[in-house]
A and B are shown apart, each in its own frame.
Chain A
Amino acid sequence: ETGVTQSPTHLIKTRGQQVTLRCSSQSGHNTVSWYQQALGQGPQFIFQYYREEENGRGNFPPRFSGLQFPNYSSELNVNALELDDSALYLCASSLKTGIETQYFGPGTRLLVL
């Protein structure tokens, strides 16, 4: 167990809906990164938050947005869901000074019908 928690564990939505996924970082970690992992693929970087500010973004459209709160927990919001958004969404927390200490949560599995 890494100390990173995510909720919910599973979610089913329909195309066009909106979803919010949540992540609580490991104690003492001020950086949260979000990844999308489609079936049979490696995780793909969505964006990272450091001290409540976005600190880098991958090749994802603006309908993917996020927040980080003063306690360093984070949300990932996806609007106008598409079928291809079905994936495992992973949150990883780290101290910004040490990328090797990037710890992944258990993930949220999203199915878009």
Chain B
Amino acid sequence: QKEVEQNSGPLSVPEGAIASLNCTYSDRVSQSFFWYRQYSGKSPELIMSIYSNGDKEDGRFTAQLNKASQYVSLLIRDSQPSDSATYLCAVPPSGAGSYQLTFGKGTKLSVIP
């Protein structure tokens, strides 16, 4: 059974600080990883995808992947109150022909003005 683990939080950071969100996964052969943002009462929105070891930057967001440690993280620089949301880590199956995502429980982030 594939597992994706996240610290449920809440994680509180002051405005302007760096927020660090972490995710571990159990399937050693997983090749791609996704971060979704979900505002309260809303549906998940894809914000980052990463496929290779190392860092991937997109604006204030940086995804970091370490396949050897089965660990993926999301850094949010210059955190804003509008970043307050639940961040979901998601991993698709490693087999071909099936595209469902396995999600972690999510980490709730609060950015304090």
Q: Which residues of A contact B (CB under 8 A)?
A: 31, 33, 35, 40-45, 48, 55-56, 58, 88, 90, 94, 96, 99-100, 102-107
Contact B44–A56 (Cβ < 8 Å): no
Of the residues B32, B104, B105, contact of A100 by C-beta under 8 Å: B32
Q: What 7 additional pairs, Cβ within 8 angstroms, besides A103-B46, A107-B42?
A: A41-B105, A42-B90, A43-B44, A55-B98, A55-B99, A99-B92, A106-B43
Expressed in whole angstroms, the minimum distance between the Cβ of A45 and any Cβ of chain B is: 4
Q: Report B-chain residues with C-beta under 8 Å of the C-beta of A94.
A: 99
**With A105-B43, A107-B43: A42-B99 Cβ-Cβ less than 8 Å:** no
Q: Report B-chain residues with C-beta under 8 Å of the C-beta of A55.
A: 97-99
Expressed in whole angstroms, the minimum distance between the Cβ of A108 and any Cβ of chain B is: 10
Q: Report A-chain residues with C-beta under 8 Å of the C-beta of B42.
A: 106-107
Of the residues A42, A56, A106, A107, contact of B100 by C-beta under 8 Å: A56
B80 on interface, CB distance cutoff 8 Å: no
Q: Would you list 10 pairs from A and B whose C-beta atoms are within 8 A, ordered by A residue?
A: A41-B106, A43-B101, A44-B103, A48-B98, A56-B99, A56-B100, A88-B43, A96-B99, A102-B101, A107-B43
Contact A56–B103 (Cβ < 8 Å): no
Q: Which residues of B contact A (CB under 8 A)?
A: 4, 6, 8, 32, 34, 42-46, 49, 88, 90, 92, 97-106
**With A99-B32, A99-B92, A100-B32: A43-B103 Cβ-Cβ less than 8 Å:** yes
Of the residues B4, B44, B102, contact of A104 by C-beta under 8 Å: B44
Contact A90–B34 (Cβ < 8 Å): no
Expressed in whole angstroms, the minimum distance between the Cβ of B28 and any Cβ of chain A is: 19
Expressed in whole angstroms, the minimum distance between the Cβ of B26 and any Cβ of chain A is: 14
Q: Which residue of A lies closest to B89 (CB)?
A: A42
Q: Report B-chain residues with C-beta under 8 Å of the C-beta of A45.
A: 100-102
Report the separation of the CA atoms of residues A100 and B99 in the bound assembly, to the nearest whole angstrom. Answer: 10
Contact B46–A99 (Cβ < 8 Å): no
